[in-house]
């Protein structure tokens, strides 16, 4: 079969699309990459939540797919909202890479050892709320752009430290620049962080059948629990929350948090179970009982 894959043009997005391209070509398929510039790529001077949230990195690609211009989209799963446009579906989750966040600091110091008043760059409310909760004496400033841009801004001393996803750094061969990999039990990753998702049209049976062969079931189950929690809390990129599921002792273990943006209130909950979506709703329910709704509305 011949496939057209829609992808953003950043180095990381191209790495992910080319990875899927190789996987499909190994199975005898022909694959063409179609580079698409999204709203999230074009608008860099405003916070993500003001331009449609993380879905701003998907909109134009999904429109091209619905128009039949591309057959398949490759996304960083943490950018994919739980509610997809009508006519589209997630057909596969690839094996998850390292889900942790990584601190890069000019001083070479860990988060807990940064000097008071240090400037930490991130565009993520999830990351900034956890930093402020752990280190209220630090200044957290907005930082957008691709991985290269963010690291360059750090090295130019616009920031003392920045936080990025470990998976992206691994894929780009830049883990040697990491000062500290942050423990996910204390610094919770984004829902789906480290995973690549494949999206296609619901009515495209041929593409669905081929793409589904790349699905990694263990990763898909863990992420299903995380996304069920996200859906139950009705959270988006304007809500500081995170969730991380792992399989421990034969069962899924889900840890999650919801916070105020300034880190002044942070709720955590966790649970174990065999049903991913049921587990996600269960842990979300515990957070709601403890006041998560009020934090989300705030």
* 269-297 per-position pLDDT tens digit: 999 999 999 999 999 999 999 999 887 77
Q: What's the pLDDT at 234? A: 82
Q: What's the pLDDT at 27? A: 96
Structural domains of the chain, count: 3
Q: What's the pLDDT at 50? A: 47
Q: Could you tell me how many helices (H) and strands (E) the chain has, helices first? A: 10, 13
Q: Quick count: other Cβ atoms within 10 Å of Cβ 240?
A: 25
Q: Same domain for 109 and 162?
A: yes
Q: What's the pLDDT at 51? A: 43
Q: Sorting pLDDT into bands at 50, 70 and 90, what band is 48?
A: low
In a domain, 237, yes or no: yes
In a domain, 189, yes or no: no
Q: What's the pLDDT at 249? A: 85
Q: Same domain for 16 and 153?
A: no
CATH value at residue 37: 3.40.190.10
Mean pLDDT throughout 21-40? 93
Mean pLDDT throughout 82-98? 96
In the predicted structure, residue 46 carries a pLDDT above the cut 80: no
CATH value at residue 268: 3.30.160.40
* 234-271 per-position pLDDT tens digit: 866 578 999 999 998 889 999 999 999 999 999 999 99
Q: What are phi and psi of 265, to 5 degrees?
A: -140, 130
* 189-218 per-position pLDDT tens digit: 999 999 999 999 999 999 999 999 999 999
Looking at the chain, the whole-number percentage of residues with pLDDT higher than 70 is 93
Q: Same domain for 10 and 122?
A: no
In a domain, 254, yes or no: yes
Residue 249 is part of which domain span? 225-297
Q: Same domain for 151 and 10?
A: no
Looking at the chain, the whole-number percentage of residues with pLDDT higher than 90 is 85
* Beta strand extents in 166-265 (DSSP E only): 180-181, 196-201, 241-248, 251-259
Catalytic residue ranges: 79
Mean pLDDT throughout 128-141? 97
Q: Same domain for 88 and 109?
A: no
* Beta strand extents in 10-121 (DSSP E only): 30-35, 72-76, 88-93, 101-105, 119-121
Q: What are phi and psi of 259, to 5 degrees?
A: -145, 165
The greatest distance separating any two alpha carbons of the chain, rounded to the nearest whole angstrom, comes to 57
Residues 6+ apart with CB under 8 A from 67: none
Average pLDDT across the chain, whole number = 93
In a domain, 187, yes or no: no
In a domain, 168, yes or no: yes
């Amino acid at each position: 079969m011949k496939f057209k894959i829609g992808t953003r043009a950043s180095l990381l997005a191209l790495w992910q699309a080319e990875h899927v391209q190789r996987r499909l070509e190994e199975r005898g398929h022909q694959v063409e990459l179609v580079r698409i510039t999204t709203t999230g790529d074009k608008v860099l001077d405003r916070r993500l939540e003001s331009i449609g949230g993380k879905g701003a990195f998907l909109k134009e690609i999904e429109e091209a797919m619905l128009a039949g211009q591309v057959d398949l989209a490759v996304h960083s799963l943490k950018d994919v909202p739980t509610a997809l446009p009508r006519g589209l579906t997630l057909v596969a989750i690839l094996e998850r890479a390292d889900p942790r966040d990584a601190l890069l600091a000019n001083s070479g110091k860990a988060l807990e050892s940064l000097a008071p008043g240090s400037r930490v760059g991130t565009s993520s409310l999830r990351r900034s709320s956890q930093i402020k909760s752990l280190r209220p004496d630090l200044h957290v400033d907005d930082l957008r752009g691709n991985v290269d841009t963010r690291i360059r801004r750090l090295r130019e001393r616009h920031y003392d430290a920045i936080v990025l996803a470990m998976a992206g750094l691994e894929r780009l061969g830049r883990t040697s620049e990491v000062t500290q990999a942050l423990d996910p039990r204390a610094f919770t990753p984004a829902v789906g962080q480290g995973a690549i998702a494949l999206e296609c049209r619901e009515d495209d049976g041929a593409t669905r059948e081929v793409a589904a062969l790349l699905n990694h079931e263990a990763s898909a189950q863990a992420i299903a629990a995380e996304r069920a929690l996200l859906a139950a809390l009705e959270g988006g990129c304007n809500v500081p929350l995170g969730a991380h599921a792992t399989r421990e002792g034969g069962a899924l273990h889900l840890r999650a948090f919801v916070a105020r943006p300034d880190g002044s209130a942070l709720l955590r909950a966790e649970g174990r179970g065999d049903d991913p979506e049921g587990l996600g709703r269960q842990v979300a329910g515990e957070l709601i009982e403890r006041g998560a709704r009020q934090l989300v509305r705030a």
